[in-house]
């Protein structure tokens, strides 16, 4: 009951209702040029990003690339905690990230979340594109635990 009272007393549900659409638009804008991103969706402060093969923009990525894990590791290196999963759709394929900032997040903090997540996805996308082009093996990157820079 104390948590519900706090949410009510501080107008946090209204805050999330009002800021959620802005956060979603900011994330969509920041990821708009990322070919690795298949879809950005969400409601309130619960957001999801599906990743797709950048070669066609819709197919699942090869599971051996471990994109979900790489997003988690890269985000953490940038001071951002996200929850990514693989597999999804058919039980064997698909990568996605769940983002759920605190209801108490300020505009400045939300901007930082968007910036760090966009930087994360762009870094992983560069590696994935390189691998898909045949320049690096998936094991070479996944055994190193994440990005190269």
Element of type H or E holding 8: helix 2-9
* Model pLDDT, residue 149: 39
Do 105 and 26 touch, CB atoms closer than 8 A? no
* Model pLDDT, residue 82: 96
* Model pLDDT, residue 62: 87
Query: pLDDT tens, 20-59?
Result: 999 999 999 999 999 999 999 999 999 999 999 999 988 9
Do 117 and 99 touch, CB atoms closer than 8 A? yes
54-76 average pLDDT score: 92
110-134 average pLDDT score: 96
Calculate the alpha carbon distances from 85 to 19, 70, 88, 135 in Å: 26, 11, 7, 26
Distance CA 21, CA 76 (A): 25
pLDDT band, very low/low/confident/very high, at 142 (cuts 50, 70, 90): very low
Distance CA 123, CA 119 (A): 6
Strand order in the sheet with 37-43: 37-43, 46-51, 95-99, 83-85
Residue 92 has pLDDT above 70, yes or no: no
pTM for the full predicted model: 0.83
């Amino acid at each position: 009951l104390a948590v519900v009272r706090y949410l009510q007393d501080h107008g946090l549900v209204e805050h999330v209702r009002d800021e959620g659409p802005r956060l979603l638009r900011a994330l969509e804008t920041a990821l708009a040029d990322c070919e690795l991103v298949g879809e950005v969706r969400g409601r309130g402060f619960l957001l999801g990003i599906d990743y797709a093969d950048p070669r066609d923009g819709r197919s699942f990525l090869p599971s051996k690339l471990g994109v979900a894990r790489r997003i988690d590791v890269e985000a953490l290196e940038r001071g951002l905690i996200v929850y990514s999963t693989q597999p999804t759709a058919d039980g064997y394929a698909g990568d996605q990230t769940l983002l759920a900032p605190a209801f108490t997040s300020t505009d400045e903090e939300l901007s930082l979340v968007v910036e760090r997540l966009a930087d994360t996805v762009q870094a992983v996308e560069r590696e994935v594109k390189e691998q898909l082009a045949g320049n690096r093996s998936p094991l070479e990157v996944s055994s190193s635990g994440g990005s190269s820079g």
